[in-house]
Amino acid sequence: MRRSGVLLHPSSLPGVHGSGDLGEQAHRFIDWLVEAEQSAWQLLPLGGLGAGNSPYMSDSAFAGNPLLIDLHELQQRGWLDAADLEPHPEFVRRRVAYEIVTPWRLQRLERASQRFFAMSQTDGRLAEDFAAFRVHQGSWLEDYALFKALAERYPGAEWNAWPEPLAQREPAALQEARRALSGRIDHWCFLQWCFARQWQALRNHARAKTIRLIGDVPIFVGLHSADVWANPHLFQLDASGHPEAVAGVPPDYFSRTGQRWGNPLYRWEMHDRDGYAWWTERLRHTLTQVDEIRVDHFRGFAAYWRVPHDAPDATRGQWIRGPGEALFRAAERTLGALPVIAEDLGLMTPDVPALRRALGFPGMKVLQFAFDDDATNGHLPHNHDALTVVYTGTHDNDTTRGWWLGLDAATQQRVRRYFGSPAGDHEMLLRAAQASVADTTILPMQDILDLAEGARMNTPGLSAGCWEWRFDWSQTRPEVTERLAEWCRLYGRTRHQP
Helix ranges (DSSP H) in 274-350: 277-287, 299-302, 325-335
Amino acid at site 176? E
What's the pLDDT at 498?
A: 44
DSSP character string of 11-49:
GGS--SSSS--SSHHHHHHHHHHHHTT--EEE----S--
For helices 24-35 and 182-208, give the axis angle rounded to 10 degrees.
Answer: 20
What's the pLDDT at 346?
A: 84
123 is catalytic: no
Per annotation, catalytic residue among 343, 398, 447, 468? 343
Give the containing element (helix H, strand E) for 270.
Answer: helix 268-273
Residue from 450, 336, 324, 468 nearest 18 by CA: 468
155-196 pLDDT, tens digit per residue, is: 999 999 999 999 999 999 999 999 999 999 999 999 999 999
- Give Cβ neighbours of residue 190 (< 8 Å, ≥ 6 apart): 113, 116, 117, 130
> Hey, what long-range contacts does 111-118 have (CB within 8 A, 24 or more apart)?
111/79, 111/80, 111/84, 112/71, 112/74, 112/79, 112/80, 112/194, 113/79, 113/186, 113/187, 113/190, 113/191, 115/78, 115/79, 115/80, 116/77, 116/79, 116/190, 117/186, 117/190
Q: What are phi and psi of 158, to 5 degrees?
A: -70, 160
- Give Cβ neighbours of residue 325 (< 8 Å, ≥ 6 apart): 355, 358, 359
Give the containing element (helix H, strand E) for 105.
Answer: helix 98-120
Q: Distance between CA 498 and CA 101 in Å, rounded?
A: 40
35-67 pLDDT, tens digit per residue, is: 999 999 999 999 999 989 999 999 999 999 999
Number of neighbouring beta carbons within 10 Å of residue 4: 25
- The DSSP output letter for 374 is -
- Give Cβ neighbours of residue 183 (< 8 Å, ≥ 6 apart): none
Residue from 353, 371, 372 nearest 363 by CA: 353
208-247 pLDDT, tens digit per residue, is: 999 999 999 999 999 999 999 999 999 999 999 999 999 9
Q: What's the sign of the alpha-carbon dihedral 329, 331, 334, 340?
A: negative
Per annotation, catalytic residue among 35, 84, 291, 396? 396
What's the pLDDT at 497?
A: 47
pLDDT over 90 for what percent of the chain?
A: 93
Predicted structure pTM score: 0.96
81 is catalytic: no
Per annotation, catalytic residue among 21, 73, 216, 296? 296
